Amino acid sequence: MNDIKPEGLNDMDFYIFGAKATAAGLYKALSLLEPEKNIEAFLVSDTSGNVPEIWGVPVKAISSVAAGLSESEKKEALVYAAVPELVHAEIRGLLEEYGVSNLVMLDSRLEADLMGRYFVAEGKFRSVHGLSAESETTVPKLSIYAASFYKDKPLSHPPVLPGYYKKLYLGCAGAKKSGMDIKGQADCYDNTGDNISALNPNRCEMTAHYWVWKNRLEGSTHNYVGICHYRRILDLSDEDLKKMVANDVDVVLPYPMIHYPNAAIQHTWYVPEKDWELTKRVVSELYPEYEKCFDEIFNAPEFYNYNMLVAKKEVFADYCAWLYPILDRIEELSEPKGTDRRDRYTAYLSESLETLYFMANLKNLKIYHTGRLLFT
């Protein structure tokens, strides 16, 4: 902590706008990587629905903080906007309304760089970028499926993706039922072959995992298979792919996000507590060995969001064979039953289950990480 000047802000003082996982991760990263800086507060537009503090740092309304600063202090105050990129323009406008203009908008590339350096410094969650490969190593054969709901709007600035990416439309059973013609709009459709497309209102991108597992692994000559989103991809260059082969990497996941006070808080934002308790019960019933580490994993702050990964096809298959019996049992036992719901609860629970599976297997699998890049 720095000594605060008698009046005004210290040159190294800063604020973070946001009070969720992105903001918590930024705070942890800056605290370790730039310890000379001092955070004054987490800023939010409205304190209701937010925690009063994060690791001892107060969460304050931007209106109250701005009211206590002079015009020159507001212009000089450094504010990191740690909120989803989809609302960057809105948040920039809000902050500028209060006279705050010294802004760093935390986009996905900057976040990936910071979190990558943070985890390297922590000695946790190894980065694929830190591996090495011989010059003659070749890129593995792989397919990555970019999952997109058939009603998703086209991106204004879509990424240019390599040929091993395949566009996979989801919820296609619903499109067919409504009479929509979506032929020719994607490379693959989740209502073909062995599928659970009709469950998409609850399962979301998990109908993609199921479809790939049942229809694209057997007989495939590819080494790796992956799932990303039409607007989110894993930051993997051809050189990174070579490193995966050279080092026999089992799976690449996005850097975990950091939640306050711990990873268990994530489910409280999206699913009723009774569904969380049911999930614990089903894990205990089907996989008691995972039940033993359940509380330990979710009492830690790190959490794998977004259900994205690139894995050896055998690892992908093992993970799916573990996961889907849990989801099926949850939907069978939940009230109302999963087939009577449209609240995406099993998709949200899948993120927690992905976290459980891979955190529990950090020592059993060669797990590496990279950033997730967002496109709008």
Instruction: Kindly tell me if the per-residue pLDDT of 9 is higher than 70.
Output: no
338 compared with 82, residue with greater pLDDT: 82
Instruction: Kindly tell me if the per-residue pLDDT of 348 is higher than 50.
Output: yes
pLDDT for residue 339: 83
Domain ranges of the chain: 13-106, 128-374
The two tokens of residue 325 are 């019996």
Rg (CA), the chain: 22
Mean pLDDT along residues 107-111? 96
The two tokens of residue 103 are 């802004």
Instruction: Kindly tell me if the per-residue pLDDT of 182 is higher than 90.
Output: yes
- Residue-wise pLDDT for 121-178, tens only, equals 999 999 999 999 998 999 999 999 999 999 999 999 898 999 999 999 999 999 999 9
pLDDT for residue 11: 58
Whether the CB-CB separation of 228 and 147 falls below 8 Å is answered with yes
Buried-state track 316-353, b at ≥16 Cβ within 10 A, e below 16: bbbbbebbbebbbbbbeebeeebeebeebbbbbbbbbb
pLDDT for residue 1: 32
For helices 21-33 and 108-122, give the axis angle rounded to 10 degrees. Answer: 50
| Burial status of residue 132 (CB atoms within 10 A of its CB: 0-12, 13-18, 19 or more) | exposed
Which pairing describes strands 309-312 and 251-254: parallel, antiparallel, or unpaired? Answer: antiparallel
CATH number of 13-106: 3.40.50.20
Instruction: Looking at 36-165, list the stretches that DSSP marks H as alpha helix, in order from N- to C-terminal side.
Output: 62-67, 71-76, 88-97, 108-122
CA within 13 Å, CB half, 363: 1
- Residue-wise pLDDT for 308-319, tens only, equals 999 999 999 999
Per-residue confidence at 342, pLDDT binned at 50, 70, 90?
Answer: confident
Indicate the class that CATH gives domain 128-374: alpha beta
8 compared with 231, residue with greater pLDDT: 231
Residue type, 375: F
pLDDT for residue 340: 87
Q: Within 10 A of 233 (CB to CB), how many other CB atoms are there?
A: 24
Mean pLDDT along residues 33-54? 96
In degrees and rounded to multiples of 5, residue 366 shows phi and psi of -85, 90
Whole-angstrom CA distances from 320 to 174, 246, 325 are 23, 25, 9
Mean pLDDT along residues 337-361? 94
Mean pLDDT along residues 105-110? 96
Q: For tokens 């790190």, what's the residue?
A: 302
